[in-house]
Structure 1
Amino acid sequence: MKLLHINASTRASDSQSLDVANTFINELGKNSSNLQIDTFNLFEDELPEFDGLAVGAKMALFSASDFSADQKQAWENIKKVFDRFASADAYIFNVPLWNNSIPYKLKQFIDVVTQPGWAFGFDPAKGYSGLLTGKKAIVVHASGVYYDGIPEAFGSDFATAYLEDWLKFIGVETVEHLHVAPTVMNADYTKTKTEAKSSAKKLANEWTND
């Protein structure tokens, strides 16, 4: 199995989502002798902008027009990131909740890799279809204040639904979500963290036995 770990946290040693994701990865590694791990640190690794140059390259491709040299390079950079993403058999994302949603770098990554003919297809009669089939994913979410059931004045979670929809849109059929919350307003965070790590290990064992 080739596992792509997409780290959407800016922090290293004190990232709660990353800690739980690493628990999953370590447990999976104990039971999988042929596990290959590729880690994409979104705030550190090179991630091309999906800017006017990239959009121009995309439109040139759609209209069968010639690329400029700069457009060609921009599209090659985007294809490189997509190929890295598509080559994985499975994914694990660790995602902090930012302003009720996902960090901007993760949205940038999604916009880069979600291209027609690569990640999804379209039929005028049937609509969209995901092309990255036969894969599975787990998303580890962490939030400081928000948790399921808290009064609406304490925030919302648009990240879980968004990532679920996107992963299904591109063809990933099995998606699991694991929440570490709340990490700040929590009188017994040790219990919360222990339960999250236990769930991560359980999921890792389930993946091993699939």
Structure 2
Amino acid sequence: MSAVRTILHINSSARMSGSASRALSQALVDRIKSHVGERVVIKTRDVGATQPPSFVNEQWIGASFTPEENRTDAQRETLRESDGLIEELRSSDVVVVGAAMYNFGVPAALKAYFDQVARAGVTFKYNDQGVPEGLLKGKKAFIVVTSGGVPMNASGMDFMTPHVVTFLGLLGITDVSVIDASSQMKRDDANDVAKAAIDAIDLDAVLA
């Protein structure tokens, strides 16, 4: 990939303090910043607590599927939040997601964010065979997965990790690294192991 100029840090935990996903994803952002230099721009999107996205509704869907040149002023206003989130994501070189597992899946606020940035013809398109093709290619993503008792990738239990990876792929972000900080209630060393994994990432290689 080209030189890293902008990092988008997405927090999904509803907890402002004591959140493992916040602390670990911040540690990763700090390491990347230290590696690439102080001039890198860090954008934080706190969907979990201070910046919860709106849920899509009938008006949003109608506006989204109306050709841009035919949209009313009201429809453009309906999509203003989505447009801003998409531009923030599009202009980022690296995306770091602090993904806190809630009830086997993604937090509702993170799902709302996904719904806001998934726009046919804007962040992905359908090819001639009807297969979706991402339009936000060339980015690197990191997902820091935390959970209370569910191990990452546990069959029939972890619906979050594959969801986030698949969603990023829909947008064309297929270069994804996952840091495992799951099973916090069962593993006393979960955070230490995850921090060691963050410190061990070969950033020269993964950001090349």
- Scaled by the length of structure 1, what TM-score is found? 0.87
Q: Which of 51, 56, 77 is the equivalent residue of 1:73?
A: 77
Q: CA deviation at 1:147?
A: 1.1
Aligned to 1:192: 190
**Aligned-partner residue type, residue 173 of structure 2:** V
In the TM superposition, what whole-angstrom CA distance separates every residue of 1:1-59 from its partner, at most 9, and x where no partner exists? 21100000111221011111111111122222132110000031262331122112123
The 8 Å contact of residues 153 and 161 in structure 2, kept in 1 or not, is answered as: no
Gaps in structure 1 of 5+ consecutive residues: none
Partner Cα separation in structure 2 for residue 13 and residue 61 of structure 1: 43
**Aligned-partner residue type, residue 76 of structure 1:** R
- Tell me how large the CA RMSD over aligned residues is: 2.2
In the TM superposition, what whole-angstrom CA distance separates every residue of 1:81-107 from its partner, at most 9, and x where no partner exists? 111111101100001111110001111
The 8 Å contact of residues 50 and 111 in structure 1, kept in 2 or not, is answered as: yes
Alignment pair present for 1:57 and 2:63: yes
Q: How does 1:22-101 map to 2 (within 5 A)?
A: 22-33=26-37, 34-42=39-47, 43-45=49-51, 47-61=53-67, 65-67=70-72, 69-101=73-105
In the TM superposition, what whole-angstrom CA distance separates every residue of 1:75-134 from its partner, at most 9, and x where no partner exists? 222211111111101100001111110001111100110101211111232622111010
Aligned to 2:199: 201
Aligned to 2:173: 172
The structure with the larger Rg is 1
Higher helix share: 1
With over 3 angstroms needed to count, the CA separation of the structure-2 counterparts of 1:209 and 1:83, relative to structure 1, is closer
The 8 Å contact of residues 136 and 172 in structure 1, kept in 2 or not, is answered as: yes
With over 3 angstroms needed to count, the CA separation of the structure-2 counterparts of 1:209 and 1:174, relative to structure 1, is closer
Count the aligned residue pairs.
202
What percent identity do the matched residue pairs reach?
Answer: 21
Partner Cα separation in structure 2 for residue 14 and residue 180 of structure 1: 14
The 8 Å contact of residues 27 and 205 in structure 1, kept in 2 or not, is answered as: no
**Aligned-partner residue type, residue 56 of structure 2:** F
With over 3 angstroms needed to count, the CA separation of the structure-2 counterparts of 1:157 and 1:149, relative to structure 1, is closer
Runs of 4+, deviation exceeding 4 Å? 206-209
**Aligned-partner residue type, residue 61 of structure 1:** P
The 3-state SS of whatever aligns with 1:13 is coil
Partner Cα separation in structure 2 for residue 15 and residue 81 of structure 1: 24
Gaps in structure 2 of 5+ consecutive residues: none
